Amino acid sequence: MSQLRKVALVGNPNAGKSALFNALTGARQKIANYPGVTVERKAGRLLLPSGQPIELVDLPGSYGLDSTSPDEEVTRKVIMGEFPGEQAPDALIVVLDASNLEQHLVFALEVIELGKPTVVALNMVDLAERDGLVIDPAALASELGVPVISTVAVRRRGLSELAEAIAQAGAREPEKRHPHGFLPERRLTAHAIADGAILSETARHRLHAKLDRVLLHPWIGPLILFALLFVVFQAVFAGAAPFADGLDAGVAALGDLVRGALPPSLIRDLLTDGIISGVGSVVVFLPQIIILFFFILAMEASGYMARAAFLMDRMMASVGLSGRSFIPLLSSFACAIPGIMATRSIADPKDRLTTILVAPLMTCSARLPVYAVVIAAVIPQRAVLGPVGLQGLVLFALYALGVVSAMVVALVLRSTVTKGAASGFIMELPKYQMPRLKDLMIGLWQRAWIFLRRAGTIIFMVTVVLWLLLNFPRAGQGESQVDASFAGKIANGLAVVVEPIGFNRDIALSLIPAMAAREVAVSSLATTYAVDAGDDDSTQAALGEQIAARWTLPTALAFLAWFVFAPQCMSTIAVTRRETNGWKWPVFMLLYLFGLAYIFAGITYWSALALGL
């Protein structure tokens, strides 16, 4: 088999490598406006102008070939041909941020010194122009001894020229003009080259500097961050309500339609009580998910996220972590899995391990349906202060509880099992950019798709299995179907364990399937209540109404507290095993999180009872 020619994209973090990779190959790799987004190698295929295909590899950003963190290690190994099972790339594309030329040239020089066929993509020339920088690519090319192509990855500018240059890079003999140097020399050279290539520069950084003075202000900054997050959670409830109600009505109508169209049978029950009630109860949270991600993606693209990391650095340092951990923890708001993967950009192994262990405490989007359904059922929808709603406030409090717990646990871990000094934090602050609507839409679409795919696969399957377990063996006359079923028997056994923390049998029943994914707790409850109600129309009510009628407030609050901590996600455990190379830490994670969940649910339940709620 003939191997494809291989070309790798290298450069400093946040230079736009993944954006170029996506533009050249049509892939949809995650890009975001902060350093350390890509942590793995990713390959795709690019057709050269001649029609010949090559393999293009996107790599994690790096500051030098003396790698310090696991993600930089990947870059070094791939470039040097030491990556297991992979031959060295035939050519390299060094991606430079034109608006940050001098700094990015330092690593570029080190890569060019390797003497491989190399092309430089002078990316983000639009940002450079915006800042009043005019750069001469020809001067840069003659200084570096390799072709330099100006590009704007996100507007697909310069792509065909770049492809042409890649096609020719392999044909030329590499020019070994640059002797091997050391870092200080490279810095001097980078300075001189940048000076020579920058034709004119006007000070238009002022607006951004002003913005940073406010947003990074020691106390105004955190206040703004806090206010912003507050708005996000209010919006999740208030903004989603009309859409969620519409979806709710749609699911109910679909159930009625099927119930009316089919004669009474087990198949009809499976469709209505199992699939439509179960999967439908999760799908209705799509609007909330979209609103949450709209804010997260806009904050990522604008460059604000990196500022938030900067702001949090001091707080993180006080618990023995660094601002470096902030981005992985923040990604965990979406899902702990990419969050844990993102820890690869943390150089210090103990810092990294601590971050992995606390990542599941950040409230992932799978918890949103669980929180939202219970809050909507038991917390009254009223304003507390002006437009501030109580429901949004409780949601915010649950997220805050997750963050505070993560900090406390990190502090405890850092002085016990992962003892060590906190490492320093250096992160470049990316340029502010206006988020582009199209990118936001694509990002939201991807998120919505992930959510719906989960509903259609894992949640669907677990729901069907649960429905079967709930319906067999069949109940006798006058006996409750749930009590008679296999699932009911298992739940009754488990109920003994969770009774002290205020959980009822239905909750016990939802906890085991929810190990597959947290949202399953919602679909399981919906299916259980639908089976329990049988064909009696008077008890066929939406899940929220069922919870409001059947649960006491202390039980509902204990359930919420449980979900702040409980490690109910198999995939997180699996990815922790992979990232820590063994079972020791995932088992530790499971035990400490279940322990905390049990204790906090219990405290919540008994305090609520004592308060007479």
Ligand X SMILES: Nc1nc2c(ncn2[C@@H]2O[C@H](COP(=O)(O)OP(=O)(O)OP(=O)(O)O)[C@@H](O)[C@H]2O)c(=O)[nH]1
Residue 18 interacts with Mg ion (CB under 5 A)?
Answer: yes
We find the least distance from the C-beta atom of residue 38 to Mg ion, in angstroms, to be 3
How far CA 8 is from CA of 102, 161, 164, 336, in Å, comes to 22, 17, 15, 29
Query: Between 297 and 512, whose beta carbon lies closer to Mg ion?
Result: 297
Report the SS3 class of residue 206. helix
Please answer whether residues 553 and 608 qualify as being in contact, where contact means their C-beta atoms are separated by less than 8 angstroms: yes
Please answer whether residues 322 and 351 qualify as being in contact, where contact means their C-beta atoms are separated by less than 8 angstroms: yes
We find the least distance from the C-beta atom of residue 104 to ligand X, in angstroms, to be 10
CA angle 519, 39, 77 (to 5 degrees): 145
Which does residue 127 touch among ligand X, Mg ion, none (CB within 5 to 8 A, set by kind)? ligand X
Residue 15 interacts with ligand X (CB under 6 A)?
Answer: yes
Q: Which two tokens stand for residue 22?
A: 């996506």
Query: Between 320 and 435, whose beta carbon lies closer to ligand X?
Result: 435
For ligand X, what does the binding mask look like between residues 40 and 79, x meaning CB under 6 A?
--------------------xx------------------
The CB-nearest residue to ligand X is: 61
How far CA 29 is from CA of 24, 38, 44, 436, in Å, comes to 12, 8, 10, 16
Residue 280 interacts with ligand X (CB under 6 A)?
Answer: no
We find the least distance from the C-beta atom of residue 541 to ligand X, in angstroms, to be 46
Q: Are strands 133-135 and 42-47 parallel, antiparallel or unpaired?
A: unpaired
Contact region for ligand X (CB under 6 A) — 13-21, 177-185, 511-519, 601-609? 13-21
Buried b (16+ CB within 10 A) or exposed e, 467-479: bebbbeeebeeee
Residue 33 interacts with ligand X (CB under 6 A)?
Answer: yes
Which does residue 123 touch among ligand X, Mg ion, none (CB within 5 to 8 A, set by kind)? ligand X
* Segment 98 to 127, residues that bind ligand X, using CB under 6 A: 123-124, 126-127
* Segment 23 to 62, residues that bind Mg ion, using CB under 5 A: 37-38
Of the residues 7, 10, 38, 509, which one makes contact with ligand X according to CB under 6 A? 38
Report the SS3 class of residue 115. coil
Residue 377 interacts with Mg ion (CB under 5 A)?
Answer: no
Residue 17 interacts with ligand X (CB under 6 A)?
Answer: yes
* Segment 296 to 315, residues that bind ligand X, using CB under 6 A: 301
**What are the residues whose beta carbons fall under 8 Å from the beta carbon of 484, sequence distance 6 or more?**
473, 474, 475, 476
Contact region for ligand X (CB under 6 A) — 35-43, 78-86, 282-290, 566-574? 35-43
Q: Which residue has tokens 């729901």? A: 463
Q: What is the rounded CA–CA span in Å between residue 299 and residue 308?
A: 9
Query: Between 159 and 361, whose beta carbon lies closer to ligand X?
Result: 159
How far CA 256 is from CA of 194, 249, 252, 523, 540, in Å, comes to 69, 10, 6, 18, 10
User: Given the rule CB under 6 A, which residues bind ligand X?
Assistant: 13-19, 31-33, 35-38, 60-61, 123-124, 126-127, 152-154, 301, 433
User: Given the rule CB under 5 A, which residues bind Mg ion?
Assistant: 17-18, 37-38
